[in-house]
Amino acid sequence: MITTSPDPDTNACVANFDEALEQLGLALQSDPFAYNTKVLEAALPVMKSPGGLDALYARVPTMEAKGVFANSDWDNPAILRPALAVRTLRQGAPAYTTIEALSELRLLAVAMGDYRHPGISSEQARHFLTQVTALNLDLLSGQMSEADRERPEGLGQIVNSLYQFLLSRLGYESMLDSLVGEVRRLLAQRPIQTDSIKQMVSQIAKCLYDPEIETSGMHKAARLVTALFGPTPGSRDDPGLAVYGERLSAMDDVALFAEAKDFASAMQETGMVSPYHPMLLRRLREHRDDLIPMALGLSITGNDVLQSYQQIVLQLIDDVVHPQTSQAVYGLAMFLERGTLFIPAVAASLWRQIELKLCQTASDRLSAVFGDEHPPRVYLLAGVLNLLGQPFGIGQGNNPTCQSVIGLSMWAFNDAYYLLQLVAWAARDDDVVMRFEGQDINSQHLPAGLAKLPPTDVDPVSLVLIPHLDRIYGEMGRLCGVRDEDLHRWINPEMYGSWVGHGFLSLISRETGKIHEYEDFIRDFYASYHPYYNGNIPIIHPQPAGIAVTDSGGRLVGRHAITIIRVNLDRAGDMRLYFFNPNNDSGQDWGQGINCATESNGERSGEASLPFAEFASRLCVFHYDPRELGDGSAVPDTDITRAIELGRTSWAASYE
């Protein structure tokens, strides 16, 4: 129960706010789409008043009950994105800034255990607020920029006060340390989109060099900042691109060697690429090609690929590697390390991509999101390198396009030339062609799929390709018509490729909408994927599967597409299943002690993992090869019982 009370000076403002809340609640009873405009207008004076934030915090349950967030993105806090929240808070119109501020007070109440929200757990709420504060660290000392001070209706001061309010409850002392840990945890997953993480590091840097803030002993923070802004002798003082370019011109071979070595070390340690790194690579292209393998941190394998395909690699560096596309350096390095260029069709497809003429639609979309400092083809080619280098680094948060995103990941992992074909069609022709049961599907004129608007806060490949894939996936579902099983049985092999298992099991009956044959479902999953019961057959290709995602209370959040990558013993001798989750963060708490791990259990970059039975407890759909189904009767009853019990006492309860 929240027990704080308003300051006496705020009583009149709070009374107006309470009245607006009551009116909204009554209006929503007769009109489900009634606007919250008066509530937001009444909230602004409260936020400006002494003790006003305390008063609003105390009214979080009432705000939810009266429908302040109804009919808006804020009604589902699990889908909110920290980077977007920051822009709304710092740059949004008064109404948007106000509702974002109210939402963050609500999330604070959830994080502190003062309010329980059915759509987000306390851990998720704290995680969100930690990232928001990371992106607002310039306000840590309480100072406001000129832009903040000039905002209308005192919004700059309101945001500053809100931030201080959040910090006072979340804790100043551990905030920086927590943020550094959060950044390192996210970087360990090696995402291909790092802009928001780099923004966090930039804010950490400002704090480290702010004399008003105590940051002694923050060695891990300093290492992150150094890796991004000064990882080498020539860039140690973060001199700026122009000055660093002059220094490069004056460096001898010994200095260039040291620069190449330190750049590679920082990049491999963190997965972040300093904007100075591309400048070194472009300098080496002119004078010391032989140092490029060192600057990329290549192993013998990666160097063999580079030497075998030197012409195309050097062309990629010339075309793609710029400070504005710096992350492509890591994508290129990982692409070479994977050896994918040894597949002849991939090299030919990359040459086509280099020469590709983009259609107007793709060009406009890329320019709108990434700017026009370089031609759109440069940003798309950089995105291609990142995806091919890190197939499990692509993420789209809670967007409804998970089916399409796991396709991008699977093709980048084991069908790269097909992915490049799809990119070429979408970028050049504004059309993608796929076949479904012998019938061609052209994406260009299809209606929107699950995503009613094209995603924008995504990587370049997704920006161009996802709208087409989403429409095609929806069309395949339409062509299925009414069938007696889950439509994914027919769609997935046609959409993703023939290597998707043609056997298919769904835990939820399409006819009744209820769970059926739970024990047989789990037993067959063990017999298909667990090495002890499937004849020790490894997973040859990643396989699409459907899971029921739950929050930290074990409550159903929604169904979600993932890919099963491999099953192996971990360091403790337990059998774990490693999977790719197209969310932006795979380290999730699913309740009942089920915590998705992203490191320390043998995970490779971008993988999440769980003990086999825990993963099985969240599974609702999977593909398999009927000819390689193992002996389900050999699976111990205790394993089956544990998986079923975890499922039935969490998400499955709503289906039974």
Instruction: Look up residue 626 and give its DSSP letter.
Output: G
Q: Which residue has the higher pLDDT, 135 or 472?
A: 472
Q: Which residue has the higher pLDDT, 167 or 482?
A: 482
Q: Which residue has the higher pLDDT, 11 or 249?
A: 249
The per-residue pLDDT for 210 is 72
Rounded-to-integer distance, Cα 52 and Cα 57, Å: 9
Q: Judge if 50 and 100 occupy the same domain.
A: yes
Q: Judge if 565 and 507 occupy the same domain.
A: yes
Q: Judge if 650 and 536 occupy the same domain.
A: yes
Q: Judge if 466 and 527 occupy the same domain.
A: no
Q: Judge if 134 and 28 occupy the same domain.
A: yes
Q: What is the pLDDT of residues 224-258, one digit of tens each?
A: 999 999 999 999 999 999 999 999 999 999 999 99
Residue 230 maps to a domain: no
The overall average pLDDT reported for the chain is: 91
Q: Judge if 472 and 509 occupy the same domain.
A: no
**Neighbour-count burial of 225, counting CB atoms closer than 10 A to its CB (0-12 exposed, 13-18 middle, 19+ buried):** buried
Residue 108 maps to a domain: yes
Q: Judge if 525 and 488 occupy the same domain.
A: no
Domain boundary among 437, 463, 496: 496
Instruction: Look up residue 4 and give its DSSP letter.
Output: -
- What is the average per-residue pLDDT within 512-530? 96
Residue 281 maps to a domain: no
**Neighbour-count burial of 8, counting CB atoms closer than 10 A to its CB (0-12 exposed, 13-18 middle, 19+ buried):** exposed
Domains in the chain: how many in total? 3
Q: What is the pLDDT of residues 300-317, one digit of tens each?
A: 999 999 999 999 999 999
Q: Judge if 14 and 140 occupy the same domain.
A: yes
Residue 131 maps to a domain: yes
Residue 263 maps to a domain: no
Q: What is the pLDDT of residues 153-166, one digit of tens each?
A: 888 889 888 988 98
**Percent of residues, the chain, with pLDDT higher than 90:** 70
Domain boundary among 136, 170, 204: 170
Q: Judge if 512 and 408 occupy the same domain.
A: no
Domain boundary among 121, 144, 170: 170
The type of residue at 62 is T
Residue 344 has which token pair?
A: 């002849």
Residue 3 maps to a domain: no
Rounded-to-integer distance, Cα 621 and Cα 492, Å: 11
Q: Judge if 407 and 518 occupy the same domain.
A: no
Residue 81: which pLDDT band, with cuts at 50, 70 and 90? Answer: confident
Backbone angles phi, psi at 570, to 5 degrees: -90, -175
Strand order in the sheet with 608-611: 503-506, 619-624, 543-550, 556-569, 575-580, 608-611
pLDDT at 60 over 90: yes
Q: Judge if 156 and 53 occupy the same domain.
A: yes
**Percent of residues, the chain, with pLDDT higher than 70:** 94
Residue 97 maps to a domain: yes
Residue 352 maps to a domain: no
The per-residue pLDDT for 147 is 66
pTM: 0.81
Q: Judge if 155 and 70 occupy the same domain.
A: yes
Domain boundaries, position 61: 8-170
* Residue 613 contacts residue 646 (beta carbons within 8 Å): yes
The per-residue pLDDT for 140 is 59
